[in-house]
């Protein structure tokens, strides 16, 4: 099987370094951006794997090659971008990491415009700073992709339930925390807010007339 692996974050490239050893692969090619991907003749490959990317690949690519990715949320409301941040801020402690099928649905506003189809899933712990979560996602993504590759062609697709609730993709201005908001938050809520906005995401910050204080890595000790 000839496979393309699309990834640009370090944790995702670490996944590539492991799954390239899967015995079912005759070739696996790493692409670190969609510009590289579009230069390839996709007819020469059997499968496109995406890992840690939020780029919309578009109709041309998705109709040319079977494409799957990994999605780190259980509920549909977190399918619209920033799933890690939105779940942590909402108080979610444990979620699912899933293989999902990328499709081109022009009526879908979900990230990747997919149809909620997934095959394999494992548990994902959302504790710790972003680096801790990324490290865990390297392991869970490796498990998921290897399971998928080993199960071909006997893949069973399921559909996760649709929700009316939508948690939108965060923008840099969402990282600003007002003094009034801080006064109404517990120390645990403050910890969750800042820990989920560690590098490479726009860091959480507070500001006054003097300047802005950006907060990257944080720790919390429960009484």
pLDDT band at 111 (very low <50, low <70, confident <90, very high): confident
pLDDT digits (tens, 9 = 90+) for 156-172: 999 999 999 999 999 99
> Phi/psi at 212 (nearest 5 deg)?
-115, 135
Q: What does the mean pLDDT of the chain come to? A: 94
Of 98, 109, 104, the C-alpha closest to 75 is 98
pLDDT band at 6 (very low <50, low <70, confident <90, very high): very high
Q: What's the pLDDT at 113?
A: 65
pLDDT: is 111 or 72 the higher one? 72
Q: What is the mean pLDDT of residues 85-102?
A: 97
Quick check: 104 pLDDT over 90? Answer: no
Quick check: 101 pLDDT over 80? Answer: yes
Tokens linked to 128: 């710790």
Task: Give ranges for CATH 3.40.50.170 in the chain.
Answer: 2-159
Q: What's the pLDDT at 136?
A: 97
| CATH label, 2-159, candidates 3.40.50.300, 2.30.42.10, 3.40.50.170, 3.90.1010.10 | 3.40.50.170
Quick check: 112 pLDDT over 90? Answer: no
Q: Rounded distance, CA 208 to CA 216, Å?
A: 18
pLDDT digits (tens, 9 = 90+) for 18-74: 999 999 999 999 999 999 999 999 999 999 999 998 888 888 899 999 999 999 999
């Amino acid at each position: 099987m000839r496979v393309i692996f699309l990834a640009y974050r370090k944790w995702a490239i670490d996944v590539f370094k492991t799954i390239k050893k899967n015995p079912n692969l005759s070739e696996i090619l790493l692409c670190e951006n969609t510009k590289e991907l579009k230069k390839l003749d996709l007819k020469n490959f059997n499968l496109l794997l995406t890992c840690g990317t939020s780029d919309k690949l578009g109709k041309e690519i998705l109709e040319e090659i079977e494409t799957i990715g990994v999605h780190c949320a259980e509920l549909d409301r977190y399918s619209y971008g920033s799933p890690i941040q939105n779940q942590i801020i909402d108080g979610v402690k444990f979620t699912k990491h899933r293989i999902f099928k990328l499709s081109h649905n022009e009526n879908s506003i979900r990230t990747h415009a997919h149809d909620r189809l997934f095959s394999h899933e494992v548990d994902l712990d959302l504790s710790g700073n972003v680096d801790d979560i990324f490290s865990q996602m390297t392991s869970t993504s490796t498990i998921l992709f290897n399971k998928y590759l080993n199960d071909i062609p006997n893949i069973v697709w399921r559909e996760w339930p649709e929700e009316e609730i939508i948690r939108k993709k965060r923008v840099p201005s969402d990282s600003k925390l007002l003094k009034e908001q801080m006064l109404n938050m517990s120390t645990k809520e403050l910890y969750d807010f800042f820990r989920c906005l560690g590098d490479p995401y726009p860091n959480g910050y507070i500001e006054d007339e003097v300047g802005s204080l950006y907060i990257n890595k944080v720790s919390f000790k429960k009484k």
